[in-house]
Chain A
Amino acid sequence: MNKEILANQPFDLGLEFQRPIRRTAAGKIKIYSYSKSGAAVRGTLAVLLLLALWGFLSFDVKNVDFAEAMAKTWRNVQTVFFQPRLARNTFWGAMNQVLVTFCLGGLATIFGAVIAFFGALLCAKNIANPRVATATRSLIALVRAVPTILWVLIFAVSAGLGSVAAVVGLTFHSAAYLTKAYAESIEEMDPGTIEALRASGAGYWAIVFQAILPSSVRYMLAWTFLRFEINFTNAIAVGAAAGAGGIGYDLFMAGSFYFDLRELGYITWVIVLAVILLETLATQIKAKVK
């Protein structure tokens, strides 16, 4: 607030502070005021804590000796992270598997991005028909609600377990996620640009490629790279839980088939380094794009 605005205020500015002091029944001055958001925060926190407590009381932990299991975990963590060794695989073999996972994630991201671009055109509030937008949004919510692994397994029945099922399954979730993100970036753009093009008689696709895409492509790219990171981790998970190949499958074999902690450690390091590398890359790209 600057001086001119203050100068234009009426003289009774001081009256502002003479509002009657609110007191409690006991006569103490109330220092907290009721607000809807504050109440909602407290209510949500209370409900979450109660649910968490209920969860702990209801968990069937069977008869695990907690202290012993923790001690064992600690020993295993040490073995995994400090004594990694490959027994059934070579360094280049592991690298190749990482590349496979990387490519699975990449393919799903590309397909997801292409589908999401058109999906976003259908559900961004500033350019789409409201009814179509609502329908698209509901469809997306439905697709997003099914976990990735279930999509993969559902497609594995008709496409066979392999890269096709993995990519298609990962694509579903990516497309839904990116549609939401892209639609938000389109909604943020300056409405004047679209209006100007419309006024000059530009067709729908001209508006899309000359106004919408150039002004929101930076955000879209940032979101796409973020999704690529997620897809890489998801591809690992899908490989482990559905046997869809890549480094995730090796991880599963080392852990649950050969029970080889050291090999598990080696693969873990490979995965962690790959994920950190991707994150650094994505952060740099994001910084450059913004």
Chain B
Amino acid sequence: MFKAKPGRAQESVFARRKRVYTLTLLGVIGFYLLASLVTQFSAKDGISALPRAFSWIVGNLVPTEKALRRLPNILQKLMETTLLSISVTVVAGLFAFFFSLLGSKTTGAHRWIGRLVRIAAAFFRNVPDVVWAMLLLFSFGQNILTGFFALFFTTFGMLTRTFIETIDEVSAACTEALSATGATYLQTVFQAIIPSSISEMLTWVLFMIETNIRSSTLIGMLTATGIGYLFDLYYKRLDYGSASLVVLCIVLTVILIETLSTRIRKVIL
């Protein structure tokens, strides 16, 4: 038998667990206090605001008759935003596919090109879309293209990284098998890499479409396009009835797309 250390051995798992929990809790509380001080956040205000906010939502954030007359306009802008996020994601996905072939370790042409692609992807991913939007406002103005490129850059960065990971994960074995049989590069890509990784990639594309609809609402507020602008307009005019109809439409669209992509995911994976 092992000789137990006096005192600690009996309850060591629980004592250790308790210590870790206590330390973590203290750390979180410490951070909370510090952060509240820095941001002048007070939990009391936050909690007391909640019931007020909810009663306000129930009282004011309901579509009125006036709002319903604006429905065609809202639906048109919603369509614009939805189509924008779909086209951005599809185009970014196509670009990301070619660059991920270059960036992946199994299919890349050269080590340095791969590294360059991965650095570029990290750069595009880490510059937030808000920054791109602010930058592009200077040259494209309040135009739908501003939102398009702002979303394009971040989506491209994100998809390139995930596509590279997918290709690396999925296709090392089959690439080797195919090149052993003397297949050319293009044959390997079309017969091995695309079939084995397409469903995973498609899942990511669907996920990014969903994310982009939410982001494009925010970008729209900055660039005065799409559904985000419409919400901002009604909100600033204190026309909360119409604003609530906008929220409702966004919610329905996002849930619809979420449900659709879950269905598709179930079939393809």
Contacts and interface: CB of A to CB of B under 8 A. Distances in A.
Nearest to A264: B134
B221 to A, nearest CB: 5
Given A157-B56, A163-B40, A40 B268 contact: yes
A273 B206 CA distance: 29
Interface residues of B, number: 76
B86 A55 contact: yes
Contacts of A248: 130
A12 interface: no
B41 A107 contact: yes
A226 B228 CA distance: 26
Contacts of A144: 254
A236 interface: yes
A58 B32 CA distance: 48
A142 interface: yes
A27 to B, nearest CB: 24
A54 interface: yes
B256 to A, nearest CB: 9
A149 B268 CA distance: 33
Instruction: Give the interface SS of chain A, mostly helix, strand, loop or mixed.
Output: helix
Interface in A104-124: 104, 106-107, 110
Contacts of B80: 58-60
Instruction: Give the interface SS of chain B, mostly helix, strand, loop or mixed.
Output: helix
Interface in B121-158: 122-123, 126-131, 134-141, 143-145, 148-149
A185 to B, nearest CB: 17
Contacts of A55: 83-84, 86-87
Interface string A235-263: 01100110001001001101110010100
Given A36-B267, A237-B130, A264-B135, A103 B38 contact: yes
A144 to B, nearest CB: 8
Given A73-B135, A159-B45, 20 more contacts: A37-B268, A40-B264, A45-B202, A48-B205, A53-B87, A58-B79, A59-B148, A61-B144, A64-B145, A103-B39, A107-B35, A110-B32, A142-B255, A146-B250, A168-B53, A240-B222, A245-B39, A255-B134, A271-B128, A276-B122
Interface of B: 17, 28, 31-32, 34-36, 38-42, 45-46, 49-50, 52-53, 56-57, 61, 79-80, 83-84, 86-87, 90-91, 122-123, 126-131, 134-141, 143-145, 148-149, 198-199, 202, 205-206, 214-215, 217-218, 221-222, 228, 231, 235, 240, 247, 250-252, 254-255, 258, 264, 267-269
26 contacts: A40-B268, A49-B90, A58-B83, A59-B80, A59-B144, A64-B140, A64-B143, A66-B145, A70-B139, A107-B32, A107-B36, A142-B251, A145-B251, A145-B252, A146-B250, A149-B218, A150-B231, A154-B57, A159-B52, A164-B49, A237-B130, A237-B218, A255-B137, A261-B138, A268-B127, A276-B122
